[in-house]
Amino acid sequence: MNIETASESNKHDYRDATLGLRGRKLGTFEIGRDLGGWIQTLHPKPSEISWQSRALLEKICALSRARRGKETLFVNFDPDQHLMFRYLTVSLGERVPSFSYFSTALKPLPKSDQLVEEVDRLIERRVRQFDRAESLLSAIPFKSGDFAIVLLPPNRPDLQRSVAVQFVEGAKGVMLVRDFSLVKAPWPYDYLRDNNMVMIETADGYGECWAL
């Protein structure tokens, strides 16, 4: 993905594969702010984190903070999102017993300093990782009263439909699909429409589907 950040162009312009902005204050890239500062700390190449990824980080973290003390599942089918777990760990703290984390096997994301190494050790202890997405899907304990935050890649409509089925059957949560507008993959629109649900395509280029 070719990303042109504020540091590489006019500081008020931004363009990546999903979004182009002109004349906009780009606070998400300022290291004096919460998200920009933590990305600078937790990722080896901060300039490569797109606006969409930053928006997803902020949204998932805001949802997670709002759910503190309530049973919440965070389910990550996107192995590139090791940064997501790092950000959740520093934002929520180590001990959030109401949270359960499930993920496909995370790709290594090097960052050689003591803080990040400690965060990664916490991730290894808290996150249940699965080599295959299908194995992960069968292990998710969708239960009444839980709220699931599910992050999916764009090229797995089978997973998207499986989560949608869980929502239709009564599970509560939100399904987020990265780069939803970029991949021409079959999506079960008819299934959602028939069950009074909708997949929203955001201005950042990802998709989200809510079941409340």
pLDDT of residue 30: 67
pLDDT at 11: 65
pTM: 0.85
CATH topology assigned to domain 50-211: Rossmann fold (3.40.50)
Vertex 155 angle, CA 151 and 157, to 5°: 80
Q: Which two structure tokens, joined as six digits, stand for 112? A: 């050689």
Q: Where are the beta strands (DSSP E) in 14-122?
A: 14-15, 20-21, 72-76, 99-104
CA atoms within 13 A on the CB side of 92: 31
Q: Which residue has the tokens 């021409």?
A: 184
What does the pLDDT read at residue 151? 97
* Nearby residues of 174 by Cβ (< 8 Å), 6 or more positions away: 63, 148, 149, 150, 208, 209, 210, 211
The reported pLDDT for the residue numbered 111 is 79
| Exposure string for 32-58, b = 16+ CB within 10 A, e = fewer | eeebbebbebbbeebeebbbbbbbbbe
Predicted pLDDT of residue 26:
58
CA separation for the pair 46, 189 (Å, rounded): 35
pLDDT of residue 28: 62
Q: What is the pLDDT of residue 20?
A: 74
Distance of CA 170 to the CA centre of its chain: 22
Are 133 and 159 a contacting pair, CB within 8 Å? Answer: yes
Label the pairing between strands 72-76 and 99-104: parallel
pLDDT for the residue 208:
93
Coil, strand or helix at 36: helix
Closest-CA residue to 68 (of 34, 98, 100): 98
Helix (H, G, I), strand (E, B) or coil at 13: coil
Other C-beta atoms lying within 10 Å of the C-beta of residue 161 = 15
| Amino acid (1-letter code) at residue 15 | R
pLDDT of residue 23: 54
Question: pLDDT under 50 in the chain at which residues?
Answer: 1-9
